[in-house]
């Protein structure tokens, strides 16, 4: 959720404080604005996630079987893909000066249908294949599946190729598209002089 919401929240906060125009008028590139606006949120989320893993191991006797490096690769890929969706959400906030209504549905849908609270196999078993098909179009489904298969089941890279390739396809499509949309949103806001409005 940090990757999905941090940039949109940062843009919205800059709009409300009236500092967005001065930030975007500096001679820095759009990718630098994106990374700089959400870095602290990512550092904080990484710290808390590490604590969850550590406390699970220390206090709840959780055993991790697979490669932490492979699990980290899935985590980074999933975070970048979700950040691309966050960039699209921030673009909406930049142009329309309010929160992204699609972001709320996408964030909630991802939490419910991608396996955050319960495995996606249960959705298919109890809700049917139509509802389960929602999980197949959500990027976190593949990231969470890969991380679970690596850390809990101890699967290797060869065994988790399918979710890894799916995440890479999401990344190849969403990253350039989201940067292009955000760049257009910034140019539109600058051209209309609406950076100081909120």
Chain centroid offset of residue 10 CA: 15
Residue 137 inside a domain? The answer is yes
Residue 67 scores a pLDDT above 90: no
173-179 average pLDDT score: 92
* pTM score, whole prediction: 0.80
Residue 198 inside a domain? The answer is no
- Give the residue, 50 or 126, on which the prediction is more confident: 50
Residue 150 inside a domain? The answer is yes
User: What confidence score (pLDDT) does residue 87 get?
Assistant: 84
Q: Taking the alpha carbons of 115, 133, 124, 158 in that order, is the dihedral positive or negative?
A: negative
Residue 19 scores a pLDDT above 90: no
- Give the residue, 101 or 149, on which the prediction is more confident: 149
pLDDT tens, position by position, 74-131: 988 988 888 888 888 888 877 776 666 666 677 777 777 777 777 777 776 776 667 6
Based on the structure, what is the number of domains in the chain? 1
169-194 average pLDDT score: 86
Q: How many CA atoms lie within 13 A of 124 on its CB side?
A: 9
Residue 131 inside a domain? The answer is yes
Enclosing domain of residue 129: 2-192
3-class SS letters over 136-190: CCCHHHHHHHHHHHHHCCCCCHHHHHHHHHHHHHHHHHHHHHHHHHHHHHHHHHH
pLDDT-derived band at 166, boundaries 50, 70, 90: very high
- Do 50 and 23 meet the contact criterion of CB atoms below 8 Å apart? no
- Region of poorest pLDDT, from 53-62, 85-94, 135-144, 148-157: 85-94
User: What confidence score (pLDDT) does residue 22 get?
Assistant: 74
């Amino acid at each position: 959720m940090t990757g999905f919401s941090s940039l949109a929240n940062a843009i919205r906060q800059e709009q409300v404080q009236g500092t967005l125009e001065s930030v975007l008028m500096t001679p820095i590139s759009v990718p630098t604005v994106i990374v700089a606006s959400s870095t602290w949120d990512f550092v904080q989320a990484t710290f808390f996630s590490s604590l969850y893993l550590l406390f699970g191991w220390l206090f709840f006797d959780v055993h991790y079987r697979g490669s932490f490096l492979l699990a980290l690769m899935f985590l980074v890929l999933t975070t970048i893909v979700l950040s691309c969706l966050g960039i699209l959400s921030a673009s909406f906030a930049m142009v329309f000066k309010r929160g992204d209504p699609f972001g709320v549905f996408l964030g909630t849908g991802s939490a419910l249908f991608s396996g955050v609270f319960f495995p996606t196999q249960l959705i298919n078993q109890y809700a049917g294949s139509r509802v389960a098909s929602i999980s197949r179009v959500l990027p976190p489904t593949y990231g969470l599946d890969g991380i679970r298969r690596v850390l809990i089941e101890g699967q290797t890279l060869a065994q988790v190729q399918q979710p890894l390739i799916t995440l890479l396809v999401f990344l190849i499509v969403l990253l350039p598209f989201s940067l292009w949309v955000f760049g257009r949103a910034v140019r539109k806001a600058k051209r209309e002089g609406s950076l100081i409005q909120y």
